[in-house]
Structure 1
Amino acid sequence: MHPLVKPALRRGWRDLNTVQFGMTPAHAMTLGPMDTATGSFLDLLDGARGLGLLREEGRRMDLPDGHVDALVDRLSRAGLVDDAQGGGPTAQALREKKEVLERLGPDLASLSLITPEPGGAIGRLAARRALRVQVQGAGRVGVTLAALLSGAGVGEVDVRDVGRVQPWDVAPGGLPAEAVGERRTEAARRVVRRASPDRPPRRPDPAAAEPGLALVIIAPRDDVLVHAPDARAAEPLVAAGTPHLYTGVVEGTGVVGPLVLPGGTGCARCLHEHRTDRDPAWPRLVAQWRSGQARRMGACDQTLAAAVAGLAAAHALAFLDGESPAAEGARWEASVPVLHWHARPVWPHPACPCGAAEKAKGEHSSTNGDPHATMVGQRPSAQRREHADAARPTGTWRAHV
C-alpha cells in the first residue's frame, strides 16, 4: 500500500492539536488529538512511499514504534486515505494511460469522496470502461446526457433515434449546428466519441455476443412520452431485467426518473395504473395526446435541458457505480422559472405484471402522488448517522461546518 491523503479534501488546523479534512458538511471530518510531529508526517502521505519507507521516515522523526501503522490505519478507517497503487489490474491499466487519467482527474477526486476503501475510487472509475449504456433519444437532453456519460469514462454509450437533426435539436454540449440535416443517430454518436477520454476497450473475442446493457436511458424528444412513458415499449426491458431510467423535458418541466429496477421498483405501467386510479380520465387524455398532431418542437429551453441532462447523468453514474440514487422508484421534477426539484414516488402497482408489487408486500406504500422529499431537504437519517458514528475510529468525528 502507498498511502495518499485524499487530495480532494482541503486540510486545515482548527487548533494546535486538531486537524480538519474537507470544507463542506457532506465530507468534512476532524481528527485529533494530534501532536506537531504527526501533523508534519501527514505531508509524507503523498502516495510516493510504501509503508516500509514511511516507517523509516517515522523513525527519523522520532515517532514511536507502530505509530505510523496506527496512523495510516486510523486514517484509512475514517475514509481519509487512498492507495496510490491500489484498485487491481484494471486500475493499474488506467494509470498507465496518463492523458486519459488527467482528463478524468476531477471525476476520480469526486469518487474518492464517496469511496472509503483505499484504491476503491480508481477501481470504480476503471470499472466504468467495461460498461455498456444505451440512450434512446437524440434530442437536447439525450445527446448532452450521452456525452456526459462518455466523458465520465463509461466505455460504450450507444445513442439511438430516428430522423435527421433539426435546428432546434442543437444545444451546447449536445448536437452542434453543423450536424443539422444529418441522421440523428450518426451525429449523436460522433458527439459521444468526441467526448470520450479514451477509445472503448476492445472485446477479447469480436465474434462473441456483445455484453449486456448495464443501463438504458429513455430520453424521448416527444414531450408526451416524457409525461406519460410508453409502458408497452419498455416491456422488453422489464422482461430482460434491464434497469432503465426515464428523463426529459415536457412543457417547461424537467423530469428525471424513475429509475426502474425490473421486479424491484415501480415501472412505467405501475405509474400509469396509479395515475388511472387517481384520475379515471387519465387514459382518455393520454390517448388524445398520443393521437394528436405531433409538435415540431416542444417547450425545452437550453438551460433546463442542460440541468436535466446533468442530473440524469449523475443519477445514472451513481447507479453504474453501485449506489442507489434518489431516482430509484421516484420521478424528480422541476419547472421553470422557480426550478424547485421535488420527488413524486412511483410505487409498484398490484395490477402491473412487472412483479414489483409482490416484492413490496408488507412495506409501507401510498398512492397519493404528493411530493415526499426535496433535493435541498434530504438528509441522512439519525439511525444512519448513529451507525456511521459508531463505525468511525476513536478520535475522528464529523466537522460541524
Structure 2
Amino acid sequence: MHPMVKPALRRGWRDLNTVQFGMAPAHAMVLGPVDTATGSFLDLLDGTRGLPLLREEGRGMGLPDGHVDALVERLARSGLLDDATGGGPAADTLRAKKAVLDRLRSDLGALSLVAPAPGDALGHLAARRSLRVQVRGAGRVGVTLAALLAGSGVGRIEVRDLGRVEPWDVAPGGLPPDSIGERREEAARRAVRRAAPDRPPRPTADDEELGLSLVIIAPRDGLSVHAPDLTAAEPLIASGTPHLYAGVVEATGVVGPLVLPGDTGCAGCLDRSRADRDPTWPRLLAQWRSGTSRHVPACDLTVATGVAGLAAAHALAFLDGRPPSSTGARWEASAPELHWHAKPVWPHPDCPCGAMEKSKKGERAAEAEKPHETMAGQQPHAARLSGTWRAHV
C-alpha cells in the first residue's frame, strides 16, 4: 500500500491543531486534535512511499512507534485516504495507459470522494471499461448522453435508433452538423468514439452472455418521454435488465425512473397510477398516439444538454454501485423556472412487474425486525462515534 491523502480535497487549518479536508459540505471533514509533527507528516502521504518508508520517516520526525500506522488507519476509516497502488489488476492495467488515465483524472478525483476505501476509486473507474450500456434514441439527449458515458470511461456504448439525422438533432457534444442526412446509428457511433479516451475492449463471448449492464431509453419523441412505451419495456422487465428513462417533452426535462425490475416501480406502474388518478388518461393517451406527429419536438438545446448530463450522472452512479435518487422516481424540470423536483413512481398492485409483491415482503420483513421499545417508550439509540477524530463540516 502507498497511502495518499485524497488530493481532490483541499486542506486548510482551522486552528493550530484542527485540520479541515475539503471545502464543499457534502464531503468535507474536520479532524483533530493534530499535533505539529503529525501535521507535517501529512505532507508525506502523497502516494510515493510505502508503509515501511513512512514508518522510517515518521521516526525521523520524532513520532512514536505505532503512530504512523494508527494515523493511516484513522485516515482510511474516515474516507480520507487513497492507495496509489490499489484497485486490483484492472486498475493496474489502466495505470499503464497514462494518456487514457490522464483524460480521466478529474473523474477519478470525483470518484475518490464517494468511494471511501483506499484504492476503490480507481477500481471503479477501471471496472467501467468492461461495462456494456445501450442507449435507445439518437437525438439531442441520447447521443450527448452516450458521449458523456463514453468520455467517463464506460467501455462499450451502443446507440440504437432508426432514420437519418435531421438538422434539429444536432447538438454540441452530440451529433455534429456534418452528420445531417447520415444514418443516426452510424453518426452516433462516431460521436461515441470521438468522446472515448480509449478504444473499447474487444467484446468476447462472455461479454455477450453477461448482457447489458444498463439500458437508457432516451426517445426523440416527446410523447414517448411523457408516456413510456410499455411494450418496449416488457423484454427488459422479463430479462431483469435495469433501465433508465431520460428525455424532453414540451420544454420539460425528465430523468427517471431508473427501473430495477421486480424491485422498483416501472413504466407500467406509472401508467396504471396515472389512470387511477385521472380516468381520462387512457382516452388522452390514445388520441396522442393515433397517427404520427410531423411537428419538430420542443426540445431546446440547454434543457436537452442538462437532461443528458443529469441522466449520465445517475447512470454512472448506478454502474458504480450506488443507486441514484432516480431509482423509482422521475426528476422533472420545466422552462423557464427549471426547478428540478422528484415524483415517486410507486409499484402498482395491478402491474405484472412484481415490484408491489417485493415491496410488501420488504415491509413485512422490516416490521418483523423492528426493535422493541424501551420502557420509556423510545427506540434505543445507535452507538455514537467516539472521540473527535471524525466530524462532517
Note closer, same or farther for the CA distance 1:207–1:19 as it changes in structure 2 (3 Å cut): closer
User: Residue 116 of structure 2 aligns with which residue?
Assistant: 116
Write the distance in 2 (CA, Å) between the matches of 1:282 and 1:346: 16
The amino acid of 1:397's aligned partner reads: A
Note closer, same or farther for the CA distance 1:114–1:82 as it changes in structure 2 (3 Å cut): same
Write the distance in 2 (CA, Å) between the matches of 1:280 and 1:361: 26
- Cα shift readout 1:58-81 (whole Å, capped 9, x = no counterpart): 011111111111111110100000
Contact 1:243 1:260 (8 Å CA) reproduced: yes
Write the distance in 2 (CA, Å) between the matches of 1:391 and 1:244: 38
Write the distance in 1 (CA, Å) between the matches of 2:59 and 2:139: 62
Contact 2:31 2:388 (8 Å CA) reproduced: no
Q: Does 1:246 align with 2:240?
A: no
- Cα shift readout 1:317-353 (whole Å, capped 9, x = no counterpart): 0000000100000000000010000111111111111
Write the distance in 1 (CA, Å) between the matches of 2:264 and 2:392: 33
User: Residue 68 of structure 1 aligns with which residue?
Assistant: 68
Contact 1:216 1:245 (8 Å CA) reproduced: yes
Q: How does 1:380-399 map to 2 (within 5 A)?
A: 390=384, 394-399=388-393
Write the distance in 2 (CA, Å) between the matches of 1:29 and 1:207: 43
Among the aligned pairs, what percent are the same residue? 72
User: Residue 370 of structure 2 aligns with which residue?
Assistant: none
User: Residue 225 of structure 2 aligns with which residue?
Assistant: 226
Write the distance in 1 (CA, Å) between the matches of 2:208 and 2:270: 34
Q: Does 1:265 align with 2:264?
A: yes
User: Residue 344 of structure 2 aligns with which residue?
Assistant: 345
* TM-fit CA distance, 1:209: 3.9
SS at match of 1:19: strand
Question: How many residues are treated as equivalent by the alignment?
Answer: 377
Write the distance in 1 (CA, Å) between the matches of 2:118 and 2:210: 29
Contact 1:74 1:393 (8 Å CA) reproduced: no
- Cα shift readout 1:150-174 (whole Å, capped 9, x = no counterpart): 0000010100000000000000110
SS at match of 2:86: coil
The amino acid of 1:69's aligned partner reads: D
The amino acid of 2:166's aligned partner reads: Q
Contact 1:78 1:392 (8 Å CA) reproduced: no
Write the distance in 1 (CA, Å) between the matches of 2:172 and 2:94: 29
Q: How does 1:6-21 map to 2 (within 5 A)?
A: 6-21=6-21
User: Residue 2 of structure 1 aligns with which residue?
Assistant: 2
The amino acid of 2:53's aligned partner reads: L
User: Residue 187 of structure 1 aligns with which residue?
Assistant: 187
Write the distance in 2 (CA, Å) between the matches of 1:357 and 1:310: 31
- Cα shift readout 1:118-176 (whole Å, capped 9, x = no counterpart): 00000000010110000000000000000000000001010000000000000011000
User: Residue 375 of structure 2 aligns with which residue?
Assistant: none
SS at match of 2:326: coil
Write the distance in 1 (CA, Å) between the matches of 2:128 and 2:385: 29
Write the distance in 2 (CA, Å) between the matches of 1:34 and 1:207: 51
Write the distance in 2 (CA, Å) between the matches of 1:212 and 1:180: 32
Write the distance in 2 (CA, Å) between the matches of 1:154 and 1:116: 21
User: Residue 29 of structure 1 aligns with which residue?
Assistant: 29
Write the distance in 2 (CA, Å) between the matches of 1:327 and 1:131: 20
Note closer, same or farther for the CA distance 1:393–1:120 as it changes in structure 2 (3 Å cut): farther
Write the distance in 2 (CA, Å) between the matches of 1:208 and 1:228: 32
User: Residue 158 of structure 2 aligns with which residue?
Assistant: 158
Write the distance in 1 (CA, Å) between the matches of 2:206 and 2:74: 49
Write the distance in 2 (CA, Å) between the matches of 1:300 and 1:346: 24
SS at match of 1:90: helix
Write the distance in 2 (CA, Å) between the matches of 1:27 and 1:253: 31
Write the distance in 2 (CA, Å) between the matches of 1:167 and 1:155: 29
Q: How does 1:280-291 map to 2 (within 5 A)?
A: 280-291=279-290
* TM-fit CA distance, 1:361: 1.6
User: Residue 308 of structure 1 aligns with which residue?
Assistant: 307
User: Residue 376 of structure 2 aligns with which residue?
Assistant: none
Write the distance in 1 (CA, Å) between the matches of 2:3 and 2:139: 45
Write the distance in 1 (CA, Å) between the matches of 2:138 and 2:108: 28
* TM-fit CA distance, 1:395: 1.8
User: Residue 217 of structure 1 aligns with which residue?
Assistant: 216
The amino acid of 1:223's aligned partner reads: G
The amino acid of 1:344's aligned partner reads: K
The amino acid of 2:65's aligned partner reads: D
Write the distance in 1 (CA, Å) between the matches of 2:20 and 2:206: 54
The amino acid of 2:270's aligned partner reads: L
SS at match of 2:130: coil
Note closer, same or farther for the CA distance 1:128–1:208 as it changes in structure 2 (3 Å cut): closer
User: Residue 137 of structure 2 aligns with which residue?
Assistant: 137
Contact 2:275 2:282 (8 Å CA) reproduced: yes
Gap runs ≥5 in structure 2: 364-378
User: Residue 328 of structure 2 aligns with which residue?
Assistant: 329
